Structure 1
């Protein structure tokens, strides 16, 4: 009988720990460490309005930017769908 109680206790503890781990992962944190992993948000210090016929390549060359920096300070930018007057970030940090 004591063996059954200890097995039940161990099973209960394992289920509780499993649930804690699942909830922690679903909430995108690991056992209370959520605040220590912050995603970086791009910060723009200067913008530029796209002119007729300009491409992302033209703009990166005009402002002497690397493709990596340009992409990081302009997240979700579709370079195939630029339009005249669209504001793009040309200086900042990511």
Structure 2
């Protein structure tokens, strides 16, 4: 018996970025840029991706903690990344 791959084939990675909300696999539309000031330097930005449905709840989660720095569309974020 071959036990090397009991879990089956590795699923393909998504071709478009997906929402970061738990269990959601919708295409991302928004980038939530955040920073935990206890862990990160002020200029560092970590990101979560959000679909339209989860943008508000993910923003609230980060905002209540004082972590949320910016919310922009994925297209704007990618455009700014190309310019850097």
- Shorter-chain TM-score above 0.5: no
RCO higher in 1 or 2 (8 Å CA, sep ≥ 6)? 1
Which has a greater percent of strand? 2
Q: Which has the higher helix share?
A: 1
Bigger Rg over Cα: 1
